[in-house]
């Protein structure tokens, strides 16, 4: 899939940028071998415990690429970044930027921002029947009206999961008490809800090739989405170019 490579900055407003890096790998094991040295000792132990080689490789690529992207922007050795899981399992870096990782099949997606972010990516899979009960009534109606209900379901689903991952509780936060807006391609739109923790979270659909769905979410809707799709090495080069264009003082982290 060497042709899969682009970068989209979808709005021109000044302000916060949520950067998204998407990797499609035809050779998960080879990419994982290259990124393994970036993992912390505890993560390398976790990687070794995966029984399925695909799961192990996806974890190593996601965590290894994340550490290298963060290491470049914070000028810290990737494996020494103190990434810790929060109460619901969301990895975070105290005092550092917000980030989140998702993987599905041969796809790995990473979001990095100046605030809490959530990302979800899903390869199209057959779902019969569609688990409509996981959606709000308005979302269910949207799926029923759609020409391609599976496509409509998956695009709503990734948006909901991204919102719940930005919130930090994951699916334990409940998928039905809020509605993701339609037409979110490339620009953040706030979720609709009667209140609760996801109120005020904005979500945007990622512009991805057919057969894969993705969405990214972050607090508010005053942020710009910058999406890059390429190999892990191309993502690192793109990340370094973006860092060079920014003041380092914005991006400092104290490591104890
Ligand atoms: C997070 C969750 C939505 C992942 O769903 P998924 O579609 O299977 O997986 P994805 O590939 O999209 O995301 C996995 C990544 O999300 C991140 N993650 C884990 N927990 C998270 C959370 N609560 N919020 C946000 N992100 C989380 C991790 O980086 C994980 O990748 P890693 O295991 O390689 O580090 C799901 O596992 C969940 O809801 N977890 C929370 C469970 C919970 O409530 N636990 C109670 C604490 S004991």
pLDDT in tens, 163-182: 999 999 999 989 999 999 99
What rounded mean pLDDT belongs to the chain? 90
Domains and CATH numbers, the chain: 6-251 (3.90.470.20)
- Banded pLDDT at 183 (limits 50, 70, 90): confident
* Closest ligand 1 atom number to CA of residue 89: 20
Confirm if 158 and 121 have CB atoms less than 8 A apart.
yes
Q: Alpha-carbon Rg of the chain, whole angstroms?
A: 18
CA distances from 103 to 35, 195, 213 (A): 16, 30, 11
Distance (angstroms) between ligand 1 centre and the Cα of 126 equals 22
Give the pLDDT mean for 9-38: 84
Give the pLDDT mean for 28-55: 97
Partnered with residue 204 across adjacent β-strands are 216
Q: Within 13 Å of residue 23, how many CA atoms lie on the same side as its CB?
A: 29
Query: Which tokens sit at 192?
Result: 């609709």
The rounded distance, in Å, linking the Cα atoms of 35 and 67 is 9
Q: Residue 243: its pLDDT value, please? A: 82
The protein residue whose alpha carbon is closest to atom 19 in ligand 1 is: 90
Mutate to test the pocket of ligand 1, among 88, 118, 158 (most ligand atoms within 8 A of CB): 88
Percent of the chain with pLDDT over 90: 81
The rounded distance, in Å, linking the Cα atoms of 18 and 26 is 26
Q: Residue 173: its pLDDT value, please? A: 86
Q: Residue 15: its pLDDT value, please? A: 64
- What is the reported pTM? 0.92
Enumerate residues 6+ apart whose C-beta is below 8 A from 186.
8, 10, 11, 204, 205, 206, 207, 225, 227
The protein residue whose alpha carbon is closest to atom 1 in ligand 1 is: 170
Pocket lined around ligand 1, Cβ cut-off 6 Å: 59, 62-63, 88-91, 100-103, 118, 120, 161, 165, 168-172
The string of pLDDT tens digits covering residues 202-255 is 999 999 999 999 999 999 999 999 999 999 999 999 999 988 876 443 444 433
Mutate to test the pocket of ligand 1, among 54, 89, 201 (most ligand atoms within 8 A of CB): 89
Element (H, E) at 24: strand 16-24
């Amino acid at each position: 899939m060497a042709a899969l490579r682009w970068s989209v900055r979808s709005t021109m407003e000044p302000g916060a940028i949520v950067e998204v890096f998407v990797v499609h790998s035809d050779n998960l094991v080879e990419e994982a071998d290259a990124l393994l040295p970036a993992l912390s000792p505890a993560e390398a132990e976790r990687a070794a415990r995966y029984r399925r080689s695909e799961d192990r490789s996806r974890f190593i690529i996601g965590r290894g690429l994340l550490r290298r992207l963060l290491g470049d922007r914070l000028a810290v050795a990737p494996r020494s970044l103190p990434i810790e899981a929060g109460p619901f399992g969301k990895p975070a870096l105290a005092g550092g930027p917000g980030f989140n990782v998702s993987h599905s099949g041969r796809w790995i997606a990473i979001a990095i921002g100046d605030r809490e972010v959530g990302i979800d990516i899903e390869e199209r899979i057959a779902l019969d029947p569609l688990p409509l009960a996981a959606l709000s009534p308005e979302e269910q109606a949207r799926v029923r009206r759609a020409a391609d209900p599976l496509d409509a379901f998956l695009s709503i689903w990734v948006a909901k999961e991204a919102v719940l991952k930005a919130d930090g509780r994951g699916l334990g936060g409940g998928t039905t008490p809020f509605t993701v807006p339609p037409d979110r391609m490339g620009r953040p739109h706030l979720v609709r809800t009667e209140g609760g923790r996801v109120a005020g979270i904005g979500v945007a659909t990622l512009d991805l090739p057919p057969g894969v769905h993705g969405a990214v979410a972050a607090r508010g809707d005053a942020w710009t989405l910058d999406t890059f799709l390429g190999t892990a090495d191309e993502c690192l080069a793109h990340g370094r170019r973006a860092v060079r264009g920014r003041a380092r003082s914005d991006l400092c982290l104290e490591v104890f």
